Amino acid sequence: MPVFQLLHITDTHIFSDSSRQLKGICTHDSFHAVIQHAHDRHPSPDAIILGGDMAQDECAASYHKLAEMLSSWSAAWMISPGNHANIEALEHTLIPALEKLSNYSRCLQLGEWQVITLNSHEDGSIGGLLVDTELQRLEELLSAEPHKHTLIALHHHPIAIYSRWLDRIGLKNSQKLWQIIGRHNNVRSLLCGHIHQAFDRIHNGVRILGTPSTCIQFKPLQQDFSMDNKSPGYRTLSLMPDGRIETIVKRIDGFIPANLNNDDPY
């Protein structure tokens, strides 16, 4: 039975102006370096999940640029929008641009697996929220395929990661998500961005995975905002037919802020 290969690329925070920096890092250049690294090693994954916070300035020009930079892949595309998202521009710019490259999906069937993306964007908020229609959609998808192993991708982290400042801006109604997951036994993993750090923990029998950003990294287990001296990265996932996931975080070299105490607004 086949194994399916996925890439998770998240928190690119690019600007329409390619020279702009976030905390001293040129987000275009770090994203470009990540794509090159990932494409050289994984030229034909089955799917690529964009984990949210793709454009810092949330504008159509940035989404065009993003799709252009990803155009060497022809995998199935999925997106879990984050707090930095303009949903209208995303729907009218990024998704059509990705559809020109290959298909875009919010629920992908891959053999013994289904992969579902959720939208946790809430206008005007850094934290995340799953609206009732999104929760209802998840419930229906899990009910429709009770025997399929399921991977759910969403931007905001669905459990406490014990960084006080990040846990204040996590998923506000995570309890409702966990109630739905608890009514089914087919969810194997939740995959998130937002936390700009590698994370891997089992919660209620479900594997919670977090992926580094393609730009700046946040230091784990901190009370207040704190950057880490780690390079940008991405995550590869192999979905095994028996429901296991083999996954690796890969990092490029360089792109560590010169001043880790930079207090420019994030």
Beta sheet of 206-210, edge-to-edge order: 107-110, 113-117, 149-153, 187-192, 206-210, 199-203
Binding piece for Fe ion, criterion CB under 5 A, among 7-15, 37-45, 122-130, 223-231: 7-15
Cβ 215 to Fe ion shortest distance, Å:
8
User: 140, 152, 170, 154: which is closest to 116 by C-alpha?
Assistant: 152
Cβ 53 to Fe ion shortest distance, Å:
3
Binding piece for Fe ion, criterion CB under 5 A, among 47-55, 124-132, 169-177, 230-238: 47-55
Amino acid at 126: I
228 binds Fe ion (CB under 5 A): no
11 binds Fe ion (CB under 5 A): yes
In the structure encoding, which two tokens stand for residue 214, read together? 């393609």
Nearer to Fe ion, 11 or 122 (CB): 11
46 binds Fe ion (CB under 5 A): no
Q: How far apart are CA 6 and CA 42, in angstroms?
A: 9
Q: How far apart are CA 216 and CA 176, in angstroms?
A: 31
Cβ 41 to Fe ion shortest distance, Å:
24
User: 227, 216, 232, 225: which is closest to 22 by C-alpha?
Assistant: 216
Options 53, 58, 134, 228; binder of Fe ion; rule CB under 5 A: 53
Nearer to Fe ion, 53 or 134 (CB): 53
Spatial CB neighbours of 25, under 8 Å, sequence gap ≥ 6: 215, 216, 255, 257
Cβ 2 to Fe ion shortest distance, Å:
33
Binding piece for Fe ion, criterion CB under 5 A, among 5-13, 167-175, 228-236, 241-249: 5-13
Task: Using CB under 5 A, list all residues that contact Fe ion.
Answer: 11, 53
